[in-house]
Amino acid sequence: MIMADLKTEFLGISSPNPFWLASAPPTDKAYNVNRAFEAGWGGAIWKTLGEDPHIVNVSGPRYSTLFSNDRRVIGFNNIELITDRPLQTNLDELRQIKKDWPDRALVASIMLPMDEASWAKYVPMIEDTGVDGFELNFGCPHGMSERGMGAAVGQVPEYIQMATEWAKQAASVPVIVKLTPNIADILPPAKAAQDGGADAVSLINTINSIMRVDYDSLTMYPTTDGMGTHGGYCGEAVKPIALNMVAEIARSDATRALPISGIGGITNWRDAVDFFALGARNVQVCTAAMVYGFKIIDDLVDGLSTFLDQKQMTLDQLVGKAVPSVTDWQHLNLNYIEKAVIDQDLCIKCGRCHIACEDTAHQAITNMVDGERRFEVIDEECVGCNLCVSVCPVDGCISMQQLTTGTDPRTGEPITDEKLQWTGHPNNPMRKTG
Amino acid sequence: MATQKPSPDIRSSRLGKSEIDRNFSDLHPPLSRPEALIEADRCYFCYDAPCITACPTGIDIPGFIQKIRSDNIQGSAHTILSENIMGGMCARVCPTEVLCEEACVRNLHEDKPVEIGLLQRYATDPIFEQNNQLFERAASTGKKVAVVGGGPAGLSCAHRLAVLGHDVVVFNRDSKPGGLNEYGIAAYKTINDFAQTEVDYILSIGGIELRNNSPLASAAELSDLCEEYDAVFLGVGLALSNSLGIEGEDMTGVLNAIEYIADLRQAEDKSKLPVGRNVVVIGGGMTAIDVAVQSKRLGAEQVHLVYRRGPEQMSASVFEQTLARTSGVAIHHWASPERIIGGDHVTGVEFRVESSDDRLHLEADIVFKAIGQNMNGDGLISIALESGRFVVDANQKTSMDKVWAGGDCVVGGDDLTVSAVQHGKIAAIDIDRHLRKV
């Protein structure tokens, strides 16, 4: 069996596969990164370096978790800061790792104060270890942001541009700018990075979050000696947020040329396909490795290769494949009609489609037909909203099918091939005519 | 040289005490919290859920399972017990495979229903362990109701009446309350004296006076009760075992299964119970299975269960039939007993094999009759009977003024604890309605 080659060049940095470990606890030191590379990871972004003296972390809970009932990790939150080891220790280990693993991508994440001198001092010192590039941490939403770094920079496009320029002036290797999602619109930060000369952006960093309260003490959970603080949210639950931001950058005229490293909840190869198809050229993983260990790389690599083989595609061809299908709401075709169809052979008669539609949507699914428990779509009521598909526990039982001829039983309007966007809709007072 | 066997071969301690203890341990061990949470997650929270319809007491099953999911165990137990005060026992003894779990839509999805019975036990066990009173009595109505029978129907009725504010006296035939929950159900289905724990919980609501050793003996006594009380509920069960009506039935060693099961349930040390080497059970219901399996687990060498019709006609569920087979019971179908063989004591049974001239001969040291029970209704002749059982309407009301009835003693009674509980509950609600009108 010959598998698709996943060897990747990202900004000229080559790696045997496009799966890099994100800058985070798994890349805190040589021991971990050695294990990751032995397991087969394509690259690693070293846990963020800062100035000496190094910061300190809390010696209490740094993580908290959103669980499913069988304690599967759905979402994950952390208040850990950047590296809490001396800079020189990190530099020595970076140099050794690069020497031991020349075929893997090794990128240094850095976070420095907003003064040019710091960048001019530290960037060359770090580059001297042989790292393949830099990732500027403008994303961490806790702790460091209170000191004017991390997300405090990432939330102000002017700061992003300024610091990126400083980094570019001091570095001869590629510079990736890591963006925070804790903003209203991802495009201005991405554009600022681009204007500052960034070679790429990576996103998303973690999202401001409090996991829950403690039901006994009724304090937030977890706490450090009775007090807690918001952390950064990540894991499977954040993937849709990340995908939107990646797609926004990939489809915007102003930023579409900017290479993207996708981050956010990637747990299996399908998640990676989502990011690639929406414009990322490589991906970074953290939470899944923290939950399951480095061995998950096997499924990521094997699954992606198999998928590409089945699609008869290269990874390059996959990148951005779905971007043209993302548009603004106003450009959706309002003449396009779908109706839900329930496969009665697959239906297990749980009735969830009925009650969801009945209570919260359009009263378009029966619960009884001729005195029998039976769930059928009432085309006269169905708006094609996909809620029933979302709640049906049986894969493939309910599908959405397009009406191509005749009239829509709901509106009585004839089905037409002609596209009608909101921009030209008669109900739109601002419609463009002619 | 083989020595002459003593005949009949009936003795105790066929197995060691530890082996017997193991054989009579919990048939379905309770779920741990992780198991319960994972199993609860399998519930689809169906609309108009088929499991609710399939439950004779109409427990909101998806509702109680959702509360398990959110760790609201007390709320879950309340959902269960407010429809079925014997939800603890039913979680152990209900043939769920032909009730709620048969209706579970997961059967259509993956042929494996949600373990509703075990989840129900998970939700209710802590309530009984902690004697956590979930119910409150309504303001006293000043009315008094006589409940005849301390089994599931009577206790269910008594509890609901007490909750509704009435005072109740339960006249119980036996020395302990619980009826078949105490004397009838196979021991490995209700370990650690759970039947009495449950009765104690039911009585702890208050307003229920229990009088043991108080059988209802005559129509005159019933009339007296009607005089003295504002209403009467009869949950007297079926006290008499049906007879085979064949030659040799009166030999020693021919026993009513139900009596042996009662002895077994009451035995402090099961290894002291006498057990036959060769046991023949005649019948095809739960009682037949229970006595066959328990005989085997007490150490009987050969246990044959013989039923006159086929496996589909057996009222014991497929699960029960499988349990019997895996316990080492040989099941024979389509064979009717023709005569009991022996002298003073039984030595065997001869069966006629259906649609043939063949005879099946089985050696027996003990023969158990498990072909159903009947009610000695003659003494209560003032109430309309059908096939020897009380006729009741949809509200469990009999033909007699002020008298309701439920459980196995009424037409449509089906030998299930859960049905008896429902009868008692419905009757109590109707009695309450009636008493508030008067």
Quick: pLDDT tens for B190-243.
989 999 999 999 999 999 999 999 999 888 899 999 999 999 999 999 988 899
**A407's tokens:** 């009239």
Domain shared by A336 and A316, yes or no = no
- Non-local CB neighbours of A434 within 8 Å, separated by 6+ positions: none
Q: Which of A71, A350, A355, A387 to mutate to test the interface with B (most CBs of B within 10 A)?
A: A350
Domain boundaries, given as residue ranges, for chain B: 33-129, 144-239+375-437, 242-372
- State yes or no: pLDDT of B379 exceeds 90: no
| Rounded Cα distance, A198 and A138, in Å | 13
Domain shared by A306 and A390, yes or no = no
Q: Among residues A54, A48, A43, which one has the least CA distance to residue A24?
A: A48
Last residue of a domain, one of A325, A341, A365: A325
* A70, A352, A394: residue with CB nearest B38: A70
Q: CATH number of the domain that A223 lies in?
A: 3.20.20.70
Q: What is the pLDDT of residue B370?
A: 95
Report CB contact under 8 Å: A373, B48: yes
Does A92 reside within a domain? yes
| Rounded Cα distance, B168 and B225, in Å | 12
- State yes or no: pLDDT of B4 exceeds 60: no
% of chain A residues with pLDDT over 90? 94
How big is the A-B interface in CB pairs under 8 Å? 40
Domain shared by A378 and A239, yes or no = no
Report CB contact under 8 Å: B106, A348: yes
Strand partners, B352: B336, B359
- State yes or no: pLDDT of A173 exceeds 90: yes
| Rounded Cα distance, A235 and B14, in Å | 60
Looking at beta carbons, which residues of chain A come within 8 Å of B37?
69-70
Q: Which amino acid is present at B2?
A: A
CB A381 within 8 A of CB A364: yes
Report CB contact under 8 Å: B47, A351: yes
Domains B33-129 and B144-239+375-437 agree in fold: no
Domain shared by A31 and A50, yes or no = yes
| Rounded Cα distance, A4 and A10, in Å | 17
CB A14 within 8 A of CB A78: no
Q: How many angstroms from the chain centroid is the CA of residue A433? A: 39
Rounded to 5 degrees, φ, ψ at B67 are -70, -30
Domain shared by A265 and A161, yes or no = yes
| Rounded Cα distance, A202 and A22, in Å | 10
Q: How many angstroms from the chain centroid is the CA of residue A296? A: 18
% of chain A residues with pLDDT over 70? 99
Domain shared by A117 and A222, yes or no = yes
Domain shared by A320 and A335, yes or no = no
Active site residue A286: no
Looking at beta carbons, which residues of chain A come within 8 Å of B44?
350, 352, 393
Q: Among the listed ranges A107-121, B337-351, B365-379, B421-435, which one has the minimum average pLDDT value?
A: B365-379
Q: Which of B47, B66, B71 to mutate to test the interface with A (most CBs of A within 10 A)?
A: B47
Question: How many residues does this entry show for chain B?
Answer: 438
| Rounded Cα distance, B406 and B404, in Å | 7
The dotted CATH code for B242-372 is 3.50.50.60
The 10s digit of each residue's pLDDT in A76-95 is 999 999 999 999 999 999 99
CB B244 within 8 A of CB B282: yes
Does residue B199 come out as left (phi exceeding 0), alpha (psi in the -120 to 50 range) or beta?
alpha
* B41, B45, B109: residue with CB nearest A348: B109
Q: CATH number of the domain that A380 lies in?
A: 3.30.70.20
Q: What is the pLDDT of residue A113?
A: 94
**Nearest C-alpha of chain B: how many angstroms from A298?**
27
Q: Domain range for residue A35? A: 8-325
Secondary structure of residue A372 in the 3-state scheme: strand
Nearest CA in chain B to A368: B48
* B37, B40, B109: residue with CB nearest A394: B109
Last residue of a domain, one of A284, A301, A325: A325
Q: What ipTM was assigned to the predicted interfaces of this complex?
A: 0.85
- Non-local CB neighbours of A161 within 8 Å, separated by 6+ positions: A192, A193, A195, A196
The CATH architecture to which B33-129 belongs is: Orthogonal Bundle (1.10)
The 10s digit of each residue's pLDDT in A111-125 is 999 999 999 999 999
Report CB contact under 8 Å: B46, A69: no
Q: How many CB atoms lie within 10 A of CB B282?
A: 25
CB B382 within 8 A of CB B348: no
In CATH terms, the fold of domain B144-239+375-437 is FAD/NAD(P)-binding domain (3.50.50)
Q: How many angstroms from the chain centroid is the CA of residue A86? A: 31
**B295's tokens:** 């005989």
**Nearest C-alpha of chain B: how many angstroms from A64?**
19
Give the confidence band of B377 by pLDDT, cuts at 50, 70, 90. Answer: low
- Non-local CB neighbours of A137 within 8 Å, separated by 6+ positions: A23, A48, A82, A109, A110, A111, A144, A149, A150, A178, A205
For chain B, counts of helices (H) and of strands (E) = 17, 19
- Non-local CB neighbours of A253 within 8 Å, separated by 6+ positions: none
User: Taking the model in full, what pTM does it have?
Assistant: 0.89
Question: Which residue among the candidates A140, A234, A286, A392 is catalytic per the annotation?
Answer: A140
Q: Among residues B110, B89, B179, B255, which one has the least CA distance to residue B409?
A: B179
H or E segment to which residue A10 belongs: strand A8-10
| Rounded Cα distance, B346 and B338, in Å | 14
* B38, B48, B69: residue with CB nearest A351: B48
Sign of CA dihedral B431, B435, B437, B438: positive
Report CB contact under 8 Å: A70, B106: no
Q: Which of A343, A348, A363, A375 to mutate to test the interface with B (most CBs of B within 10 A)?
A: A348
CB B74 within 8 A of CB B80: no
Does A430 reside within a domain? no
Report CB contact under 8 Å: A393, B48: no
CB A334 within 8 A of CB A420: yes
Strands in B231-234's sheet, in edge-to-edge order, are B208-211, B167-171, B144-148, B231-234, B403-405
Counted domains in chain A:
2
| Rounded Cα distance, A150 and A174, in Å | 20
Q: How many CB atoms lie within 10 A of CB B133?
A: 11
Domain shared by A210 and A276, yes or no = yes
Report CB contact under 8 Å: B46, A352: yes
- State yes or no: pLDDT of B1 exceeds 60: no
Domain shared by A244 and A376, yes or no = no
- Residue A324 is classified by DSSP as G
Last residue of a domain, one of A276, A291, A325: A325
**B159's tokens:** 């509890």
Secondary structure of residue A8 in the 3-state scheme: strand
Chain B contacts in chain A segment 56-115 (CB below 8 A)? 68-71
Q: Which of A68, A69, A212, A343 to mutate to test the interface with B (most CBs of B within 10 A)?
A: A69
CB B23 within 8 A of CB B17: no
Report CB contact under 8 Å: B50, A373: yes
Chain A contacts in chain B segment 77-106 (CB below 8 A)? 105-106
Q: What is the pLDDT of residue A22?
A: 98
Does A195 reside within a domain? yes
* Gyration radius from chain A CA atoms: 25
Nearest CA in chain B to A395: B109
Q: What's the number of CA atoms in the CB half-sphere (13 Å) around residue A239? A: 22
The 10s digit of each residue's pLDDT in B38-63 is 999 999 999 999 999 999 999 999 99
Report CB contact under 8 Å: B108, A354: no
Mean of pLDDT over chain B: 94
| Rounded Cα distance, A394 and A114, in Å | 54
Q: Which amino acid is present at B220?
A: A
Q: Among residues B90, B214, B151, which one has the least CA distance to residue B408?
A: B151
% of chain B residues with pLDDT over 70? 97
Report CB contact under 8 Å: A351, B41: no
- State yes or no: pLDDT of A432 exceeds 90: no
Domain shared by A333 and A249, yes or no = no
Calculate mean pLDDT across residues B355-372.
Answer: 94
Does A374 reside within a domain? yes
Domain shared by A319 and A380, yes or no = no
Domain shared by A373 and A313, yes or no = no
Report CB contact under 8 Å: B47, A355: yes
Looking at beta carbons, which residues of chain B come within 8 Å of A397?
none
Q: What is the pLDDT of residue B8?
A: 87
Give the confidence band of A2 by pLDDT, cuts at 50, 70, 90. Answer: low
Strand partners, A78: A63, A232
Does A3 reside within a domain? no
CB B406 within 8 A of CB B400: no
